[in-house]
Amino acid sequence: MDLCSGAGGLSNRLEQAGVARACWAVENCPSAAEAFRLNHPQTTVYLEDCSNLLEGIVEGRERPCKGEVEIIVGGPPCQGFSQLNHHRGTYGECQDAGFP
């Protein structure tokens, strides 16, 4: 499961290395989620906050079911949303997805 997946670069590299294949991805930005879908058509992509989805999995309300996920990965934050980026707010539509 790839959290805060962006367009799927981390999942792509893990798959190329033969380490893992992303069955599920979670992304809160609509355009990034769509890019992930295009880059990984075999993956189920959830367009929502990963905290909500993970809570639902633990409580048994969401798929994948508790115990189905073998590895959870998450790359470094997008440069546009990093607390170290002094130019936040200038990167377009993902700003509207609830990021500061």
Which residues are identified as catalytic? 78
Cβ atoms of residues 14 and 39 within 8 Å: no
Peptide bond into 100 cis (omega under 30): no
Tell me the C-alpha distance between 53 and 14, whole Å: 22
User: Which pair of tokens denotes residue 81?
Assistant: 């949303």
Beta-ladder partners of 26: 3, 46
User: Which pair of tokens denotes residue 21?
Assistant: 């294949």
